[in-house]
């Protein structure tokens, strides 16, 4: 519910043209202080604490921490590599690379703490579904928010391709 509330607040802030530091309407909405991305580590710790209290602990704490760190390294390295090298091959190539890196970073978490990985996967879908719906509506209505902003250099090929590339699949 908190993630949904932040999504709605973000949308209202952008539609009402509130501070760009808080509600950046540019493609991707970089560095906005109001956004659900910032909630992921907070809820990750929250869910981990709840699992420990329920007796669902990882087989090895150090292995779980190491794999979590490896996941972050994969994401950071793929982001740096993607923006530096892959953008030359086109934005869609870079997106595919990011999706593969995200999937790999997420899947390896099952090796460290399967119970937490399952909870975070469910949270990710629960957080993404409302965003995908908002993006669908924003793309149709051309709201001028980060939910429907096209990246620089993007050549639109119509509603459905744009929505699927930029709105349906997480990036």
Q: How many domains does the chain have?
A: 1
Please determine, for residue 14, whether its predicted confidence score (pLDDT) is greater than 70. yes
* Confidence band for 164, pLDDT divided at 50, 70 and 90: very high
Which tens digits make up the pLDDT trace of 63-115?
999 999 999 999 999 988 877 776 778 888 888 889 999 999 999 999 999 99
- Residue 93 sits in which domain range? 2-168
Reported pTM: 0.86
* Confidence band for 171, pLDDT divided at 50, 70 and 90: low
Decide which of 123 and 155 is more confident. 123
- What is the CB neighbour count within 10 angstroms for residue 106? 16
Write 116-124 long-range contacts (CB < 8 A, 24+). Answer: 116/44, 116/47, 116/48, 116/51, 116/56, 116/58, 116/64, 119/47, 119/51, 120/43, 120/44, 120/47, 123/3, 123/43, 123/47, 124/170
Structure tokens at 29: 């909405």
Sign of CA dihedral 4, 130, 162, 158: negative
């Amino acid at each position: 519910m908190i993630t949904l509330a932040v999504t709605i607040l973000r949308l209202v802030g952008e539609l009402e043209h509130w501070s760009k530091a808080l509600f950046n309407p540019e493609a991707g909405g970089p560095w906005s202080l109001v956004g659900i991305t910032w909630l992921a580590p907070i809820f990750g710790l929250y869910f981990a604490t709840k699992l420990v209290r329920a007796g669902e602990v990882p087989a090895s704490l150090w292995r779980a921490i190491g794999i979590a760190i490896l996941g972050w390294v994969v994401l950071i390295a793929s982001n740096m590599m993607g923006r530096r090298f892959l953008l030359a091959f086109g934005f869609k190539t870079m997106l595919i690379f990011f999706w593969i890196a995200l999937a790999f970073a997420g899947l390896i978490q099952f090796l460290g703490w399967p119970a937490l990985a399952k909870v975070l996967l469910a949270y990710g879908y629960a957080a993404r579904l409302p965003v995908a719906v908002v993006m669908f509506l924003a793309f149709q209505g051309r709201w001028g928010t980060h939910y429907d902003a096209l990246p620089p250099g993007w050549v639109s090929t119509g509603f459905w391709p744009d929505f699927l590339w930029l709105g349906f699949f997480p990036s």
